[in-house]
Structure 1
Amino acid sequence: MNATRAKERLRERRKQVTTDLDELGDQVEDGQVEPSTAERLRGVYAQELAEIDDALAGLVEAPVHKTENPLAAERVRGFSFRGLLGASLLLAGLTAVIVWAGSGSGSETDAIGADTAFSNATSEAGVISIDTMTTEELESILANFPDSATALLALADRYLSEGDRLGALDHYLTVSLGNSSSQDRSRALAGVGYLSYVTGQYEAASETLLQSLALNKDNTEAMLYLGNVLLSGFDDAAAAIPYFERVIADPLTPPHIVDAASEKLVDALDKQG
Structure 2
Amino acid sequence: MTGKGLTWTAAHLRAAASPEDVRTAIAEAAGQLGDGPVPAATALSHLEELALDCARMRADLRAATRIREVLLASVAHDLRNPLNTFAMSAGLLRDDLEGPDFDRTRALSLLTRMERASTRMQSLIEDLLEASRVEGGAVEFIRRPEKAAVVARAAIAKAKQLCADKGTTLDEGAIDDDAVIEVDRMRATDALVKLIAVALKSTGEGGAIRIGVERHEGDVLFTLRATAPRGTTSTVPQDESRGGLGFLIGRGLVTAQGGQLLTESTQEGPRMVVAFPEKA
- The question of a shared fold, defined as TM-score above 0.5 by the shorter chain, is answered with no
For normalisation by structure 2, the TM-score amounts to 0.28
Larger Rg computed on CA atoms: 2
Name the one with the larger strand percent: 2
Q: Which has the higher contact order (CA 8 A, sep 6+)?
A: 2
Name the one with the larger helix percent: 1
For normalisation by structure 1, the TM-score amounts to 0.29
